[in-house]
């Protein structure tokens, strides 16, 4: 079984519910996730374009749509700690650990982190690709990092026992967050710079820093982060990133954060995707996950290592940080 450390499904839930649909998870997502042996996931609240022009409004819409969806979905449950994950598994329910893909929606009000925590959020990035009041994303000014308010936000995230996610931070922001300290650093959905020099990928020094904080890196199936040439953006190409991370910092720091987004509308997906298949070739959506796991076995990963990568490393981080 697999825990996917990064999913934008709550965005699809919000888009569809605001267009009048209900039971979005049951009708559009849970069958595919079940087929892919994905038993749980970190579903993020992401301010999707073009709604990033009004992030606070969109955050409110996301929260309301998620609340309404979860109230009517009997097959899935929100979890906020490891004990609740175990309870959900025993009950045969798909479990969702809510996270934040950027905090632009809180503006300058750090008290809203408390509101998000009360909503169930246990993980946070400071930015998506943008520059905001707290920090600087991967596609924004490379000379700008954390703001002073951002430093306070990092401390608050650690103090509230939320997981600090550095995926989407630019490199200066990454190192500023590392200097603040306070807990493990996690890259929920990032790959290796040495194999694909993309702004969303991690340098060797960043990988080693994550290791030293006892954090983890989740492999990202988004095609642009895998290889320079389109024909190499395959499952096998993604497994090369897995091999690299395992050899560089240890398999105990390797996990999965697929970032499947083939279900997103053209406006949202077009904000960050080139033309062509969005996901790795051979990993078209969540239902194809067993194919990748089988290919990892063929590449030499043992059953014990795959258990760590698929669930164990995430669970250890959740237990250690969230409780």
pLDDT in tens, 15-30: 999 999 999 999 999 9
In this structure, are residues 82 and 323 in contact, taking their beta carbons and an 8 Å threshold?
Answer: yes
Angle between helices 9-18 and 55-72 (to 10 degrees): 90
Q: What is the DSSP string of 36-54?
A: TTEEEEEEEEE--TTGGGS
Residue position matching structure tokens 């970190």: 42
Angle between helices 204-212 and 171-180 (to 10 degrees): 20
Q: What percent of the chain is predicted at pLDDT more than 70?
A: 96
Alpha-carbon gap, residue 90 to 188, rounded angstroms: 26
Residue 83, token pair as written in the block:
């004990």
pLDDT in tens, 194-230: 999 999 999 999 999 999 999 999 999 999 999 999 9
Alpha-carbon gap, residue 124 to 299, rounded angstroms: 33
pLDDT in tens, 263-288: 887 555 444 444 456 899 999 999 99
Alpha-carbon gap, residue 249 to 77, rounded angstroms: 33
Say how far residue 68 (Cα) sits from the centre of its chain.
Answer: 22
Instruction: Round the CA-based radius of gyration of the chain to a whole number and report it.
Output: 18
Alpha-carbon gap, residue 264 to 293, rounded angstroms: 25
Cβ neighbours of residue 291 closer than 8 Å, sequence gap 6 or more = 235, 282, 283
- Which pLDDT value is given to residue 263? 86
Beta strands in 117-189 (DSSP E): 123-125, 163-165, 185-186
Please provide residue 7's backbone torsions phi and psi, each rounded to the nearest 5 degrees: -145, 140
In this structure, are residues 40 and 85 in contact, taking their beta carbons and an 8 Å threshold?
Answer: yes
Alpha-carbon gap, residue 172 to 247, rounded angstroms: 25
Mean residue pLDDT of the chain comes to 95
CA distances from 27 to 30, 38, 41, 43, 75 (A): 7, 16, 17, 17, 11
- Which pLDDT value is given to residue 93? 98
pTM equals 0.95
- Which pLDDT value is given to residue 277? 65
């Amino acid at each position: 079984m697999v825990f996917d450390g990064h999913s934008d499904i709550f965005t699809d839930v919000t888009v569809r519910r605001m267009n009048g649909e209900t039971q979005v998870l049951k009708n559009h997502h849970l069958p595919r996730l079940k087929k892919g042996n994905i038993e749980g996931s970190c579903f993020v609240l992401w301010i999707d374009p073009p709604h990033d022009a009004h992030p606070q409004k969109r955050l409110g819409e996301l929260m309301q749509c998620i609340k309404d969806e979860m109230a009517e979905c009997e097959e899935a449950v929100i979890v906020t700690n490891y004990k609740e994950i175990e309870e959900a598994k025993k009950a045969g329910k798909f479990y969702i650990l809510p996270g934040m893909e950027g905090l632009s929606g809180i503006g300058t009000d750090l008290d809203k982190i408390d509101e998000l925590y009360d909503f169930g959020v246990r993980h946070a990035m400071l930015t998506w690709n943008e520059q905001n009041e707290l920090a600087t994303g991967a596609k924004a000014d490379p000379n700008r990092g954390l703001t002073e308010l951002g430093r306070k936000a990092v401390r608050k995230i650690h103090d509230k026992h939320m997981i600090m996610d550095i995926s989407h931070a630019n490199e200066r922001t990454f190192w500023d967050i590392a200097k603040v300290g306070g807990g493990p650093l996690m890259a929920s959905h990032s790959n290796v710079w040495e194999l694909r020099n993309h702004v969303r990928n991690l340098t060797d020094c960043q990988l080693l820093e994550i290791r030293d904080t006892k954090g983890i890196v989740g492999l990202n199936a988004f095609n642009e982060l895998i290889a320079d040439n389109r024909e190499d953006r395959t499952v096998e190409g993604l497994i090369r990133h897995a091999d690299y991370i395992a050899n560089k910092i240890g398999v105990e720091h390797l996990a999965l954060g697929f970032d499947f987004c083939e279900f997103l509308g053209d406006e949202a997906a077009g904000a960050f995707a080139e033309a062509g298949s969005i996901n790795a070739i051979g990993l078209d959506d969540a239902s194809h996950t067993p194919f990748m796991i089988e290919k990892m076995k063929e590449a030499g990963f043992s059953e014990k290592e795959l258990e760590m990568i698929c669930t164990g490393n995430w669970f250890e981080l959740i237990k250690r940080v969230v409780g």
